[in-house]
């Protein structure tokens, strides 16, 4: 009973309701094995971006550069994959490692901007995101990089024991992040910082180091999302996934992460991801245009924030 | 009773089950000065908010000039001539004296354009009315605290003030400035303006007041002509008992030196501060608001970076301006403002205590959550924090219990020196005595404690030695047994 009254409990109910509604609207197509599999391949890439967003939002910050980081990492990896021939699976490993290195470096830059130079996260990452996208365009001239070894497709398109690999990857990352947030000093510190940055300073929490780790983690997660996108698209391009930024923010907020910091659970984000995927696939099946999608996501984001703010102020009085 | 400007009749206000004002009734006549005394949490601020129209009472009637007001709001209240001067004055620091004074009056004219000449005229006339000369074009941020207060008074006067409410008017003033303020109050009264002083330190304004009202726990516990009250009787009424706390147990003569501060300097905050602290010693640092006491307290914990000076603890130098290094060296800091600086209000009580011990319980990378929370629970018990549900957000606790949570956080780290800035601000009388007991306990364990406070009875009851701070300098070093409360008050404010 207590679970149903929590943010996550409500979300579980919403996810179930959306699932049932979509099943009712298009029973033969929505409930098909084919649709289920297709959904399981689709959502991990933006779900991982939502995890990255969650980490920064817990500190009361935000990372608007996640899509930029994902694309830049993918382009670096793609360049390695296309330039070096005949390496087989080894070269894929090197390329992925390089991509994550790019994500870490980009995150480090964001972290320094926010922690050491004290820029507001929303502006720092808006700017750095443009820089990352700009570098990606400069490297590629704006066109797609393609022609990878076959092994590249494994991370995005294969299955392990019948379960899509990207889904497994997302599951592992979500579990890892959940443990990191609840079972380590770092996780507690970043949440406490989000709850009250000033008190964190007065409590002698190492704020700068914590924030830098947060943005590095976000950058690394974004790079992993970039690898999934690259593998599934079998190419890398500077402007892939441009609608994912809003989606990642929406999922985090819908998942109960407080945009002012201090509260949020990974399970909530996972439930929000599922809700969004059910909604997205279902809308697709009942024939809602792709162009209406952003309108719907934007409205949903505002609506969720209004409800959350209204609930929070209701609790205060 | 027709001349009464404001009347409260059985006014009651509750906040989520807690009664802030309990059937309070009183009246203020035109040209009358009234003292409203009470400790923090006694209901004073609620009463001001109701008068200003910010809060609505649950029951009771408020009348202004004989007219019952059933839905007072800030605009109606201001239109009726009720002006509140808050402790921070709510001035615009970057605007000039004239603009600040004339601001509300200009808004009242409903004009969209700025009339420089009229602004200057209004300001000049208002300043003349209280007989004060402040340059009209000076930016308010460059003024002294006393002058800012005068500007705030003038702003209230510039718009037909009939009752001026002054919140903690004397906390930041020197004795001479208080005299100037009192003269101005007399002029205002002669003009028919009523004044309501709201404070927990009112002895110094008693002489201009006709009437005293004392609140305790939301109830009016005393009311009468000002002549019937003195500092001691005010305190007795406010606290409900004779507060004559015993002085601390004497410090052992052979107590070793624990901390030494030499030549600490921070431009604009404090100058050339040096002192020593012995093991088991409770050292008071007392000074008026703005004397530099808070900046000094923060500097000891690395939150303010002094440009010169040295802090040594156990003979080892502590890096300046680095709270992590200070905490690592064994210095703890309990901040002045619990709600914004001390607590993570939305987080659980246990979490608020254990946040200081994350590194100790997470050395391997994985947090020993069981051990961490068990330790926090143990501290709740040791400091007898009344917390029905330790997993509830810390904001659900009362002020005294919240303060003990912050103390517990630092005590759990076994510090060598604790800096307590205003250790009992905003806590009730009972908790205050218990917090003083905790301080005595720390001293008995051999910790060095620095108590920063302008609550003189508190300083006298807890400290072995008192450093008096004024204009950024330590001007006196007095053993606490050799000074009385009134004597100390003179030394602070002279």
- pLDDT tens for B247-257 read 777 877 788 88
Percent helix, strand, coil in chain B, to 5, is 40, 25, 35
Residue B200, pLDDT score: 66
Cβ neighbours of B68 (radius 10 Å): 10
User: Residue B244 class from Cβ within 10 Å (0-12 exposed, 13-18 middle, 19+ buried)?
Assistant: exposed
pLDDT at B480 over 60: yes
Beta-carbon contacts of residue A4 (< 8 Å; ≥ 6 apart): A10, A12, A13
Beta-carbon contacts of residue B128 (< 8 Å; ≥ 6 apart): none
- Chain A CB contacts of B324 under 8 Å are 204, 206
Q: Give the E-state strand segments of chain A in sequence order.
A: 145-146, 159-160, 163-164, 235-236
- Chain B CB contacts of A183 under 8 Å are 366-367, 369
The pLDDT confidence band at residue B457, using thresholds 50, 70 and 90, is confident
Which run of H or of E encompasses B366?
A: none
Cα separations in angstroms, B37 against B45, B203, B275, B315: 11, 10, 36, 47
Mutate to test the interface with B, among A181, A186, A203 (most CBs of B within 10 A): A203
Mean pLDDT computed over every residue of chain A: 88
- CB distance B184 to B152 below 8 Å: no
Which run of H or of E encompasses A23?
A: helix A7-25
DSSP code per residue over B257-276: EEEEEEEEEETTTEEEEEEE
Distance in angstroms (rounded) separating the CA atoms of residues A112 and A215: 9
Beta-carbon contacts of residue A281 (< 8 Å; ≥ 6 apart): A22, A30, A35, A38, A39, A42
Q: A–B: how many Cβ contacts below 8 A?
A: 64
Contact B362 A185 (CB under 8 A): yes
pLDDT at B228 over 50: yes
DSSP code per residue over A184-207: SHHHHHHHHHHH-HHHHHHTT--H
pLDDT at B243 over 60: no
- Chain B CB contacts of A200 under 8 Å are 344
Mutate to test the interface with B, among A7, A199, A262 (most CBs of B within 10 A): A199
Residue A262, pLDDT score: 86
Mean pLDDT of A105-121: 95
Which of A261-275, B68-82, B125-139 has the highest mean predicted lDDT (pLDDT)?
A: A261-275
- CB distance B451 to B285 below 8 Å: yes
Residue B241, pLDDT score: 64
Distance in angstroms (rounded) separating the CA atoms of residues A78 and A147: 9
B322: three-class secondary structure by DSSP? coil
Distance in angstroms (rounded) separating the CA atoms of residues B218 and B24: 8
pLDDT at B91 over 70: yes
A311 touches chain B (CB under 8 A): no
Contact A199 B342 (CB under 8 A): yes
Instruction: Output the CA torsion sign for B380, B386, B389, B394.
Output: negative
- CB distance B200 to B38 below 8 Å: yes
Phi-psi region of B395 (alpha: psi -120 to 50; beta: other; left: phi over 0): alpha
Exposure letters B401-420 (e unless 16+ CB within 10 A, then b) = bbbbbbbbbbbbbebbbbbb
Distance in angstroms (rounded) separating the CA atoms of residues B281 and B463: 8
Is B257-493 the same fold as B6-239?
A: yes
Contact B355 A203 (CB under 8 A): yes
Strand order in the sheet with B270-278: B270-278, B257-266, B308-313, B316-317
B335 touches chain A (CB under 8 A): yes
Cα separations in angstroms, B39 against B199, B231, B234, B427, B454: 8, 14, 10, 9, 14
Distance in angstroms (rounded) separating the CA atoms of residues A207 and A201: 7
Q: For B37, phi and psi rounded to 5 degrees?
A: -105, 150
A181-232 pLDDT, tens digit per residue, is 999 989 999 999 999 999 999 998 999 999 999 999 999 999 999 999 999 8
pLDDT at B7 over 60: yes
Closest by Cβ to A184, choosing from B340, B344, B365: B365
For domain B257-493, give the fold.
Rossmann fold (3.40.50)
- Chain B CB contacts of A262 under 8 Å are 344, 346-347
Cα separations in angstroms, B77 against A82, A182, A309: 75, 50, 30
Contact A191 B347 (CB under 8 A): yes
Residue B2, pLDDT score: 47
Cα separations in angstroms, A142 against A71, B108, B209, B236, B344: 11, 59, 79, 79, 47
Contact B327 A204 (CB under 8 A): yes
Mean pLDDT of B287-303: 87
B482-492 pLDDT, tens digit per residue, is 777 777 777 77
Cα separations in angstroms, A158 against A30, A40, A77, A232, B122: 22, 12, 19, 10, 80
pLDDT at B332 over 50: yes
What does the domain layout of chain B look like in residue ranges? Answer: 6-239, 257-493
B362 touches chain A (CB under 8 A): yes
- CB distance B286 to B468 below 8 Å: yes
Exposure letters A172-209 (e unless 16+ CB within 10 A, then b) = ebbeebbebbebbbbbbbbbbbbbbbebbbbbbbbbee
pLDDT at B117 over 90: no
A36-90 pLDDT, tens digit per residue, is 888 889 899 999 999 999 999 999 999 999 999 999 999 999 999 888 766 677 8
B166: three-class secondary structure by DSSP? strand
- CATH 3.30.300.180 describes domain B6-239: no
Residue A159, pLDDT score: 86
Beta-carbon contacts of residue B275 (< 8 Å; ≥ 6 apart): B260, B261, B283, B467, B474, B477
B333 touches chain A (CB under 8 A): yes
Residue B1, pLDDT score: 42
Mean pLDDT of B289-314: 89
B373-429 pLDDT, tens digit per residue, is 888 888 888 888 887 788 888 888 877 888 889 999 999 888 999 999 988 877 776
Distance in angstroms (rounded) separating the CA atoms of residues B30 and B8: 15
Residue B187, pLDDT score: 86
Proportion of chain B above pLDDT 90, given as a percent: 15
Nearest CA in chain A to B303: A202
Distance in angstroms (rounded) separating the CA atoms of residues B492 and B470: 7
Closest by Cβ to A192, choosing from B326, B340, B344: B344
Mean pLDDT computed over every residue of chain B: 84
Interface of A with B in 193-212 (CB under 8 A): 195-196, 198-206
Residue B369, pLDDT score: 85
Q: Which of A18, A226, A8 is nearest to A102 (CA)?
A: A226
């Amino acid at each position: 009973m207590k679970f149903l009254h929590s943010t996550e409990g409500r979300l579980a109910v919403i996810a179930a309701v959306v699932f049932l509604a979509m099943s009712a609207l298009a029973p033969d197509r929505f409930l098909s094995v084919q649709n289920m599999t297709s959904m399981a391949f689709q959502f991990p890439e933006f779900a991982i971006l939502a995890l990255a967003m969650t980490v920064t939002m817990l500190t009361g910050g935000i990372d608007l550069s996640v899509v930029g980081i994902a694309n830049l990492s993918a382009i670096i990896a793609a360049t390695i994959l296309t330039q070096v021939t005949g390496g087989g699976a080894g070269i894929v490993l090197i390329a992925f490692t390089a991509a994550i290195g790019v994500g870490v470096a980009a995150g480090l830059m964001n972290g320094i901007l926010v922690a050491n130079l004290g820029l507001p996260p929303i502006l720092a990452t808006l700017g750095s995101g443009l820089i990352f996208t700009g570098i990606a365009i400069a490297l590629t001239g704006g066109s797609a990089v393609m022609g990878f070894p076959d092994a590249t497709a494994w991370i995005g398109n294969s299955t392990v024991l019948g379960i899509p690999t990207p889904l497994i990857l997302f599951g592992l990352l979500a579990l890892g992040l959940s443990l990191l947030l609840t079972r380590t000093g770092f996780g507690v510190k970043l949440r406490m910082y989000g709850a009250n940055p000033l008190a964190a300073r007065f409590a002698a929490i190492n704020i700068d180091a914590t924030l830098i780790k947060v943005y590095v983690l976000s950058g690394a997660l974004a790079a992993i999302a970039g690898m999934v996108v690259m593998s599934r698209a079998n190419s890398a391009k500077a402007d892939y996934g441009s609608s994912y930024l809003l989606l990642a923010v929406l999922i985090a907020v819908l998942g109960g992460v407080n945009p002012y910091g201090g509260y949020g659970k990974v399970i909530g984000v996972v439930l929000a991801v599922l809700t969004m995927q059910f909604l997205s696939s279902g809308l697709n099946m009942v024939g809602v245009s792709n162009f209406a999608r952003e309108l719907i996501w934007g409205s949903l984001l505002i609506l969720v924030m209004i409800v959350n703010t209204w609930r929070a102020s209701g609790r205060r009085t | 009773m027709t001349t009464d400007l404001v009347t409260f009749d059985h006014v009651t206000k509750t906040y989520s089950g807690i009664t802030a004002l309990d059937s309070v009734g009183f009246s203020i006549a035109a040209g009358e000065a009234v003292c409203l005394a009470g400790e923090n949490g006694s209901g004073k601020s609620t009463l001001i908010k109701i008068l200003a129209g910010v809060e609505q009472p649950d029951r009771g009637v408020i009348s202004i000039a004989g007219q019952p007001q059933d839905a007072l709001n800030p605009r109606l209240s201001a239109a009726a001539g009720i002006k509140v001067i808050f402790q921070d004055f709510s001035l615009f620091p970057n605007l000039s004296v004239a603009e600040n004074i004339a601001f509300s009056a200009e808004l009242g004219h409903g004009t969209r354009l700025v009339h420089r000449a009229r602004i200057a005229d209004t300001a000049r006339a208002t300043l003349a009315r209280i007989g004060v000369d402040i340059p009209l074009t000076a930016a308010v941020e460059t003024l002294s605290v006393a002058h800012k207060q005068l500007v705030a008074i003038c702003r209230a006067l510039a718009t037909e003030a009939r009752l001026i409410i002054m919140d903690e008017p004397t906390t930041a003033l020197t004795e001479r400035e208080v005299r100037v303020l009192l003269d101005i109050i007399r002029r205002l009264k002669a003009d028919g303006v009523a004044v309501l002083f709201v404070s927990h330190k009112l002895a110094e304004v008693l002489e201009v007041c006709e009437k005293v009202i004392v609140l305790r726990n939301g109830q009016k516990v005393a009311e009468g002509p000002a002549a019937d009250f003195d500092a001691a009787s005010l305190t007795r009424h406010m606290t409900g008992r004779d507060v004559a706390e015993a002085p601390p147990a004497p410090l052992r003569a052979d107590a070793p030196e624990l901390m030494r501060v030499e030549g600490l300097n921070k431009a604009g905050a404090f100058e050339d501060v040096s002192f020593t602290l012995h093991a088991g010693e409770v050292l008071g640092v007392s000074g008026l608001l703005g004397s530099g006491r808070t900046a000094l307290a923060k500097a000891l914990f690395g939150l303010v970076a002094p440009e010169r000076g040295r802090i040594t603890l156990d003979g080892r130098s502590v890096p300046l301006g680095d709270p992590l290094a200070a905490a690592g060296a064994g210095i703890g800091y309990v901040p002045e403002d619990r709600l914004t600086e001390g607590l993570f209000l939305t987080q659980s009580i246990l979490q608020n205590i254990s946040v200081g011990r994350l590194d100790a319980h997470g050395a391997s990378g994985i947090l020993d959550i069981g051990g961490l929370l068990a330790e926090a629970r143990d501290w709740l018990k040791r400091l007898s924090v009344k917390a029905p549900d330790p997993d509830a957000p810390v904001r659900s606790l009362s002020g005294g219990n919240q303060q003990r949570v912050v103390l517990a956080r630092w005590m759990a780290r076994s510090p060598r020196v604790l800096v307590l800035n205003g250790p009992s601000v905003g806590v009730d009388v009972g908790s205050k005595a218990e917090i003083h007991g905790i301080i005595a306990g720390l001293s008995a364990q051999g910790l060095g404690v620095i108590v920063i406070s302008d609550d003189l009875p508190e300083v006298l009851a807890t400290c072995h030695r008192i450093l008096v701070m004024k204009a950024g300098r330590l001007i006196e070093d007095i053993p606490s047994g050799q000074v009385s409360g009134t004597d100390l008050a003179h030394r602070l404010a002279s």
